[in-house]
Structure 1
């Protein structure tokens, strides 16, 4: 259609509405023009106000309705408008004129047309004048505050120039100015809408106030816009991280049916470890079920949204971590970053790393052929997947409640008390300083966190085929600034990477894998990361992180820090004691290593020009270069802790049982019948077995062979000596293990150093040590009979359900490798009590044999070790704890030297004495031992893989990170309501029921509320009712009984429900000592009552006759004592708030039992 020649739209530049070129139709344009002319006329009238006051009184013709306020209460105008820019200046551009009311002195005092005295018009004009004057004074005061704030923040830093500033953050000052701008806009709108009645001076005052307020608005708006430009410029910097993806839910707009179907399959894959093909089956069957149930052709689009492949379903959830895949050299372990071309990663074909400046490049092949999207490409032959630490911390900080939890934890820095309850109260964290020289964690405007770093090698095949010849390294971190109740959750643990197998890197080969992480950590400490948005800071804030502790077992800590292994001459990384003086227990004679000495030796090793020079320096100083030394704040002499889990349980306790005490187990095998009888094996079976061994032998294939055939194969492969005596005649598994070790892959030699494997870093495994009976004249002290007695004692011990038990075949060859929890339980109760009963209750005399004397000394030595372990593992520590631990540990080591004079102490014994130095530095041991990292490794080993080295690491990495992210998936903003309904189902079907020291510590130290289960209304029995009345004064008839009651991980129950959970140690009213008792009843006086009471029968004191006594009285720090099996008459009522602990006990004599409270906090 042709357009009309006569124009119908015009551009408007009126002053009335400030259109600034707006496009209007002809009618509106004329209206704006008339209003502008009227406004100009009004301005002209004000200019000639002194001569024509009568014209200003025209407002009297339109007075406001009676009873209404002369000022309007209209809401504030919009805050979102285009703000002008102004050049930066150190001075405020606001006018400095006096308040507007001063202008009234220039106005005439007489009015030619004055309303009559006491007229309504005059009273209303005076009221308007008073209101305008009050507002004008407020404008003047607010203007001065704004001038001061702008002057304080006239620089580009985020901190004020003056210490006495009203605000400590720029965003706080910005929020103040935004609020002031809103007030001024609202004020202008109110006074402009007021009816100026009576005196025309009010109109002049109002217009002057509007002009002044508008100037202030323009200046404030300009400064806010300038700060916004600074924030946008910051967002383009290298330190900027956009957190928007973590604050949005990827399924927020998806169909609920599709959401539930996808969530079900992803949970099965990630949390139930269901393989991909079964998950695909569930997906396709769900799709078929929905197609049959819906039926409507209009639902076809809905079904098309449901994928048929598990990988597509997982991608919808956006759970995969932010990672970079490097090509790792199989020879020198150097990693190579890819280049990106046409959407593909291109890796170099050969390794170009030079170990020395004058040496040739490594030249090892880095890639192999692979397939991607149906195309053949070159992929890393040995990939290393590294997760971004910056991306992980950004995702962590954007979770609801994390910022507040970190802030609460960091607030305890100011409290220096006698006792230390957590790692954050330790000296190393409290005094740790930032790059500015101030305390690192004392910051109000940034998120500051400290972390621990761990490295540990593990077998991804779960000790199956190929045994210990396969190893993958785990690099993981834990945020120590989180509360201990959530610190060790998998979603809060950072898995930096899995060092590729099949063997651990030798010598300094771990440094290349540390390099990407160290680079990020250095930037996180010095520069920090600007997060675009967090739940508490919509405009973003900066975060900084630092590593203050390296937690690893002995071989792992030496590898990650570059120190010599435990078998080297310089076996200790903390002092200069040599292997020749390892039996020296005088701690005052140990010269400590300083940071300057360590760093100087490491620099010298790195600068060495060739292999011979490095070897000489390493032998002399016992130090290599570690990538962690690139961190300017990291001190290897202070921040590398001695791991208590491995040192105490896997090393010292295990060594004490196997070496100091010693065992001699004889299986009940009739050797007379077995020896001399040759079993005839057909050649056909032998040839079949040989063919299996020449191919790829597996557990299942070898299990098809008979024991005689397996024995023949072991003899042919010369591994029969690896099978324990007697075992090869009754069981297949020892023979199969020996055969698999014979055909295990041979480690690849590291040609750049000329050694096949790192000898000084050989994995120390106490459980595999054999006992040399000739090393001591007495030999092993526990024979089969004694071990059977200890096993019977363990089986008869009653302990709480949450307490880990030692294996029932403890000490037998088939017990397997004990876990740290089992060693801990055995040394805390089982082994000391059994040895005291067998050897400790006798009295020595002149006729006592040397064996009896040694047995008594061994029982005492075991008690010293147990008491040292009890002080070391307390959930609260202090200088007193340190002294008591050292006293017992030194007594134990002295007794061990007496019992085995020909035995040198192990490096772990030396480290056990160094362990005490970390109590004041890092607090209780539960904050810096290996239990959480070992649990992480256990989860990695349970992940379904294809068992192909080179792919297994990436599978474990992605699956673990995705499963951890899935746990917080339901907490993201915008989570669909249907997923929130899935949360209780997920929690009930996949509870965290794993026990052990770590989970018990989390529950004890956490904020978990008490749980009362299985309530029912019953009447109180008379004796319980009377005791309850005497305690509370409540005449209780019917109460709500609880069969079980949980308090922060401790489960208590009535005696008819659970034997282990019904025996407790409690603090009676008016007493300070703990006494044992058995729970008869648990009840609440009302259904909704928060108080819980326990009816307890106290055990009687044991009556000893014939010069008998309680042998545990000589060892008060052990905590156990002998009591009668009978209880006293009467019942005692105790409240839940009273001190109450679980207990473990066993029969001691005919009418006595030995009981010990399970106390996490040692107080005396």
Structure 2
């Protein structure tokens, strides 16, 4: 039995009477039955034979058309699915008005929500017409004729050129060339900008102060005749090269459909009405200026920075050439070896699949193809020295105290090292969508049109200015770029890429054919049974949708789960393959949050005494200095706000749940805890504690494996298997899982395509939203808030460019003023730590010393060691033995010895070591004794140097390992090594050791747990691991 057989649909939705049945593929009928149920008196029908009076068209599947479908209705041409004449393709019309309607569709809130979910409201029947049946036939007919006529996928001829905004900007005129100004004049400009930016001085007062300063220079006789000094803030910014308005285009936009108009286009409109047929929007209003002249003012603006402009600004910096990865010659499909260790996005398979010099074409039967001018597949992006891999993100946040959703569109350059990739100065903010509401997909298409146009040009290569290898001369290079993926949270990804919402019935998943009903069954989590979405099929339906009526678009969205999105016009773009599931939102804010809020706290798993024990153990944890702390009242309010908080909570979950649930004998009973008085259960799953605990360990192990900074496909597949087992076992306990659980089944596939999730999760982009939230705005709607935010972002880039391109003769006091503008108060949130870790990976041995080192060495003989658990060896002897092992080629001798061999070097106890208060390893600060956690306690930190040798200085640590006791029976012992959890008796150590600082793997959290025999246990949980734990090593 073939799923492509044509049968009669007998679902309750399609059923009306004998003449209203619909003929479609068996697969589509099965999906309709699952969703709507069968109609009255329905029976399964075999494939229909053609009636005698029906002659099938050549090359089409035979079918019986419904009698009530009239031949005079609009039908698709055999030669072209969109229009009868290829020249009539409506490519140049607005991106949101490609439905073939008389006018645009402006949904109300209920309709918009329903449209996003890809379903129909209760009781509503979808209309059937000849056009739908015809296109259904096109899909299911395997023998349809090949496409014979091809046309461009999209035409940007309707958008006015913005090339004037794409020319390279000259460096700050006040510092270079014939308009170079004196240092004290430039400092006046800088001080004016500083007063406005950091002192929040209004523009009017800033202008007044600057003018007064210039007047004082004139009175003092230090004002040159030429160039004439600037007297306003805006002119001063332009002289300094830090005026963001020179880079930003303020598009006028229709507030209804968001069609864009450049400032020049707006001035030439015949009337304020939007030019999209049927749109009721008003593009501009008028006012009288001070000279009583009528001026036009846009009702809504959408600020843009052209991608080419922003990219040139970054690539034009000194030192960028050597920072950009050269992927030429990189082997293909390295991760086909299951043991190959991936460290970044360039290790994923998608890195090598992007092509340049290709154009996207659509055939007369809807097939989409990407070919170069010779009919080939083009050159790989990695064959070019400057072939850049871009990652796009869009997310919305509340910019005001009142409801107002602002949506920055960020673009990062994946070819930069991880320690530089997520610095604000290296991330492009190309546009910000205005509030108060989030845009629809159609409105977002308008916003992305300029970016996609620039991306098409970058696929063909664009000449850009860059500094040479020695940073002594500016030369031109051919720069290519393509988008590696769209990396958004789940709702943002659906809207950006044009997929049905995650609660859609038939197509909630953009990566496989599972339905929402499958999410409640084992097959929704059996990764080996998934049928992956086909990008070519999706693209065909997307282009059908682009040129269809609103009714047909709703049908395509429901039956195929897609709608037209602007990136579908980009050559080479694969909507399913290049849409990423963000680990941060799906796992930490999704799966982990669901576990605690719905399954544990929602089912009253911590009543009375159990809740007090849960809170006591959480509040008693000794966290690493960099780790996000958990709130004290977690038992009362388990709704954490930050993904990093859920991340930390899951890390310590095994010992925390053990202590909260265990009986006096140290075991977890497989019984349900009593319900609190007046409590009611809203869930139907089993509440047996031991059964739940064993399953939760699978989740902890899975996330531990999948979230490491380096990963192999073998490790990723193991983590995926644990996660799949966790979901299936939860189903068997009666739990109702969320869509995120199914989406997470695709993580291993995405790791293969894009490398470790550590390289592309959204912690960085969420931090950028936090930075923009702090920007002061005037609170004006209509895109003015977003213009202020984009100005702030662009100005940060320009200030950095100014700093690194200062002439050598710039006075230090002037440099200090610029430093005050560039530096912002360090943000000590979780992402600041992530960036510190990335930066540390590029440093020497990944260990950094304090800025101020001790002037004098310590006397190592004076260091006293605790006798507990120690064999009596002195600190001097430990350090002497360590140095002999570290430098075997140096003939060291003890300080006090009568046997002096020729060529030997004395090890003098008061000259060889300096004590350090702390060091930084992988961006994390470790201090002596109380700055690190188990399983080793750092007792001292020494900087070694033997004066009479040429050996470099070396950092080592005096540590006391905790006495790990394998006899302590803990319920996670089977996963202890994988989870990085070690158990010891409190304050019980083994003998001292001296180890190199580079051997520190990570910081640890220490969870004190009172045991039933009166002892206190120390459960040590490792944090931020580079990879999985070693099996037999306990270094901390």
Q: TM-score normalized by structure 2?
A: 0.69
For the Cα contact (< 8 Å) 1:1092–1:1135, is it kept in 2? yes
Structure 1 vs Structure 2 CA RMSD: 3.3
What secondary structure, in the 3-state scheme, does the structure 1 residue paired with 2:916 have? strand
Offset of residue 873 of structure 1: 1.2
Distance change >3 Å, CA 1025–CA 561, structure 1 → 2: same
* Cα shift readout 1:818-854 (whole Å, capped 9, x = no counterpart): 111111111112x332112222577799996344971
* Cα shift readout 1:412-436 (whole Å, capped 9, x = no counterpart): 5679361110001211002333236
Find 1:1063's aligned residue among 933, 936, 939.
933
| Higher mean C-alpha deviation, range 614-623 or range 362-371 | 362-371
Find 1:839's aligned residue among 661, 683, 690.
661
| Higher mean C-alpha deviation, range 490-499 or range 301-310 | 301-310
Find 1:369's aligned residue among 263, 281, 286.
286
Unmatched 5+ stretches in structure 2: 1-160, 358-371, 675-686, 864-873, 885-891, 893-906, 1030-1036
Which residue of the partner structure matches residue 859 of structure 2?
Answer: 1019
What secondary structure, in the 3-state scheme, does the structure 1 residue paired with 2:744 have? helix
Q: In the alignment, does 2:183 pair up with 1:262? A: no
Report 1:440-455 matches (<5 A): 440-443=380-383, 446-455=385-394
Distance change >3 Å, CA 617–CA 260, structure 1 → 2: same
For the Cα contact (< 8 Å) 2:613–2:660, is it kept in 1? no
Which residue of the partner structure matches residue 786 of structure 2?
Answer: 953
Distance change >3 Å, CA 1140–CA 1132, structure 1 → 2: same
Offset of residue 458 of structure 1: 1.4
Unmatched 5+ stretches in structure 1: 1-235, 355-359, 664-778, 1065-1074
What secondary structure, in the 3-state scheme, does the structure 1 residue paired with 2:730 have? helix
Find 1:531's aligned residue among 449, 452, 464.
464
| Higher mean C-alpha deviation, range 539-548 or range 528-537 | 528-537
Which residue of the partner structure matches residue 222 of structure 2?
Answer: 299
Q: Distance in 2 between matches of 1:529 and 1:1126?
A: 64
Q: In the alignment, does 2:407 pair up with 1:556? A: no
What secondary structure, in the 3-state scheme, does the structure 2 residue paired with 1:1121 have? strand
- Looking at secondary structure, tell me which structure has more helix per residue: 1
Q: Distance in 2 between matches of 1:330 and 1:239?
A: 26
* Count of residues in correspondence between the two structures: 773
| Higher mean C-alpha deviation, range 980-989 or range 906-915 | 980-989
Distance change >3 Å, CA 412–CA 965, structure 1 → 2: farther
Find 1:798's aligned residue among 593, 606, 622.
622
Q: In the alignment, does 2:918 pair up with 1:1044? A: yes
For the Cα contact (< 8 Å) 1:265–1:310, is it kept in 2? yes
Q: In the alignment, does 2:580 pair up with 1:641? A: yes
* Cα shift readout 1:254-281 (whole Å, capped 9, x = no counterpart): 22223233324434544x4x4242x765
Which residue of the partner structure matches residue 134 of structure 2?
Answer: none
Q: Distance in 1 between matches of 2:208 and 2:991?
A: 66
Distance change >3 Å, CA 630–CA 1030, structure 1 → 2: same
Q: Distance in 2 between matches of 1:476 and 1:486?
A: 15
Find 2:511's aligned residue among 569, 574, 580.
574
Offset of residue 301 of structure 1: 5.5
What secondary structure, in the 3-state scheme, does the structure 2 residue paired with 1:1015 have? coil
* Cα shift readout 1:989-1046 (whole Å, capped 9, x = no counterpart): 6353433146425534542453322532321135221100011135241221110111
Offset of residue 978 of structure 1: 2.3
What secondary structure, in the 3-state scheme, does the structure 2 residue paired with 1:541 have? strand
What secondary structure, in the 3-state scheme, does the structure 1 residue paired with 2:641 have? coil
Q: Distance in 1 between matches of 2:721 and 2:663?
A: 24
Offset of residue 363 of structure 1: 3.6
Q: Distance in 2 between matches of 1:263 and 1:291?
A: 16
Find 2:302's aligned residue among 384, 395, 403.
384
Offset of residue 785 of structure 1: 4.8
Q: In the alignment, does 2:890 pair up with 1:972? A: no
Which residue of the partner structure matches residue 905 of structure 1?
Answer: 737
Which residue of the partner structure matches residue 904 of structure 2?
Answer: none
Find 2:837's aligned residue among 994, 1003, 1026.
1003
Q: Distance in 2 between matches of 1:300 and 1:982?
A: 23
Offset of residue 635 of structure 1: 0.3
Q: TM-score normalized by structure 1?
A: 0.62
Which residue of the partner structure matches residue 712 of structure 2?
Answer: 878
Q: In the alignment, does 2:757 pair up with 1:925? A: yes
Distance change >3 Å, CA 848–CA 939, structure 1 → 2: closer
Find 2:252's aligned residue among 313, 319, 327.
327
What secondary structure, in the 3-state scheme, does the structure 1 residue paired with 2:501 have? coil
Distance change >3 Å, CA 372–CA 1153, structure 1 → 2: farther
Offset of residue 620 of structure 1: 1.6
Which residue of the partner structure matches residue 1080 of structure 1?
Answer: 940
Offset of residue 1132 of structure 1: 0.9
What secondary structure, in the 3-state scheme, does the structure 2 residue paired with 1:929 have? coil
Offset of residue 864 of structure 1: 2.0
Which residue of the partner structure matches residue 590 of structure 1?
Answer: 530
Offset of residue 604 of structure 1: 1.7
Q: In the alignment, does 2:649 pair up with 1:826? A: yes
What secondary structure, in the 3-state scheme, does the structure 2 residue paired with 1:263 have? helix
What secondary structure, in the 3-state scheme, does the structure 2 residue paired with 1:510 have? helix
Q: Distance in 1 between matches of 2:984 and 2:990?
A: 15
| Higher mean C-alpha deviation, range 996-1005 or range 862-871 | 996-1005
* Cα shift readout 1:130-162 (whole Å, capped 9, x = no counterpart): xxxxxxxxxxxxxxxxxxxxxxxxxxxxxxxxx
* Cα shift readout 1:546-591 (whole Å, capped 9, x = no counterpart): 0011000110000011110011111111111111111232222221
Report 1:1100-1119 matches (<5 A): 1100-1102=963-965, 1109-1116=969-976, 1117-1119=978-980
Distance change >3 Å, CA 285–CA 242, structure 1 → 2: closer
- Give the structure with higher Rg (CA): 1
Report 1:85-234 matches (<5 A): none
Offset of residue 516 of structure 1: 1.1
Report 1:655-674 matches (<5 A): 655-663=594-602
Report 1:379-418 matches (<5 A): 379-408=297-326, 416=334, 418=340
Q: In the alignment, does 2:987 pair up with 1:1147? A: no
Find 1:427's aligned residue among 349, 355, 362.
349
Distance change >3 Å, CA 973–CA 264, structure 1 → 2: closer
Offset of residue 366 of structure 1: 1.0
Distance change >3 Å, CA 846–CA 383, structure 1 → 2: closer
Q: Distance in 2 between matches of 1:1081 and 1:488?
A: 32
Which residue of the partner structure matches residue 522 of structure 1?
Answer: 456
What secondary structure, in the 3-state scheme, does the structure 2 residue paired with 1:792 have? helix
Q: Distance in 2 between matches of 1:999 and 1:514?
A: 32
Q: Distance in 1 between matches of 2:772 and 2:816?
A: 25
Q: Distance in 1 between matches of 2:175 and 2:462?
A: 24
Find 2:636's aligned residue among 807, 812, 823.
812
Q: Distance in 2 between matches of 1:956 and 1:246?
A: 23
Q: In the alignment, does 2:240 pair up with 1:317? A: yes
Which residue of the partner structure matches residue 410 of structure 2?
Answer: 476
Which residue of the partner structure matches residue 502 of structure 1?
Answer: 436
What secondary structure, in the 3-state scheme, does the structure 2 residue paired with 1:442 have? helix
Offset of residue 472 of structure 1: 1.8
Which residue of the partner structure matches residue 826 of structure 2?
Answer: 992
Q: Distance in 2 between matches of 1:995 and 1:326?
A: 35
| Higher mean C-alpha deviation, range 789-798 or range 409-418 | 409-418
Q: In the alignment, does 2:730 pair up with 1:896? A: yes
What secondary structure, in the 3-state scheme, does the structure 1 residue paired with 2:383 have? coil
Q: Distance in 2 between matches of 1:542 and 1:304?
A: 36
Q: Distance in 2 between matches of 1:1154 and 1:261?
A: 59
| Higher mean C-alpha deviation, range 377-386 or range 1011-1020 | 1011-1020
What secondary structure, in the 3-state scheme, does the structure 1 residue paired with 2:356 have? coil
Distance change >3 Å, CA 812–CA 326, structure 1 → 2: same
Q: Distance in 1 between matches of 2:422 and 2:188?
A: 30
